[in-house]
Amino acid sequence: MNIASLIFWAIFVVPLVGFLFWVMWQDKKKRSTGLVVLILGVILAVIYMYARTGGK
């Protein structure tokens, strides 16, 4: 990853995932479902990004 990607992750992705985690944690009934969907989404996004950039 280059420096631009790291800055993007640090400024946008990490706070967004943290905020979504917090919002989903507030819902006591569907907490686990929301967190599983969030984790799967992050994993799929990382895999897609890695595949599109060729690991560079």
pLDDT of residue 15: 92
> What range defines the domain where residue 31 resides?
3-53
Number of domains comprising the chain: 1
Residue 1's pLDDT is what?
64
Mean pLDDT over residues 22-42, rounded? 87
Q: What is the rounded average pLDDT of the residues 21-47?
A: 87
Is 80 exceeded by the pLDDT of residue 28?
yes
pTM: 0.67
**Residue 27 — very low, low, confident or very high, per pLDDT cuts 50/70/90?**
confident
Cα dist. 19→23, 38, 54 in Å? 6, 11, 29
Question: Treating both helix axes as pointing N-terminal to C-terminal, what angle do 31-53 and 14-26 enclose, rounded to 10 degrees?
Answer: 160
- The label of the residue with tokens 């996004």 reads 45
